[in-house]
């Protein structure tokens, strides 16, 4: 799958997630690096910021493979 297609799919998928699911996926992210955010921080930031964090992690992971 091309990089642009991968990003498009991830953006579409992440856009459909609610706050609870975004937080769950960030807290349980298994990748080459750890996402280390406190529960308090994740509760305070916007849903759009949560989406940005998750998308950035997924794209970074994909470019490393």
| CA 48 remoteness from chain centre | 10
Domain that holds residue 58: 3-64
Count the neighbouring beta carbons within 10 Å of the beta carbon of residue 36: 8
Tens digits of per-residue pLDDT, 6-62? 888 989 999 999 999 999 999 999 988 899 999 999 999 999 999 999 999 998 887
pTM: predicted TM-score of the whole model, two decimal places? 0.85
What the block records as the tokens of 53 is 């964090």
Length of the chain (residues): 65
The Cα diameter of the chain in Å comes to 36
Whether 10 contacts 59, CB under 8 Å: yes
Given a cut of 80, whether residue 5 has pLDDT beyond it is yes
Determine the pLDDT at residue 50.
Answer: 98
Give the whole-angstrom CA distance, residue 53 versus residue 11.
12
Q: How many domains does the chain have?
A: 1
């Amino acid at each position: 799958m091309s990089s642009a297609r991968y990003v498009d799919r991830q953006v579409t998928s992440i856009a459909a997630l609610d706050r609870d699911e975004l937080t769950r996926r960030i807290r349980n992210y298994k990748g080459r690096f750890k996402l280390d955010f406190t529960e308090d921080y994740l509760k305070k930031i916007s849903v759009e910021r949560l989406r940005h964090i998750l998308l950035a992690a997924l794209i970074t992971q994909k470019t490393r493979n």
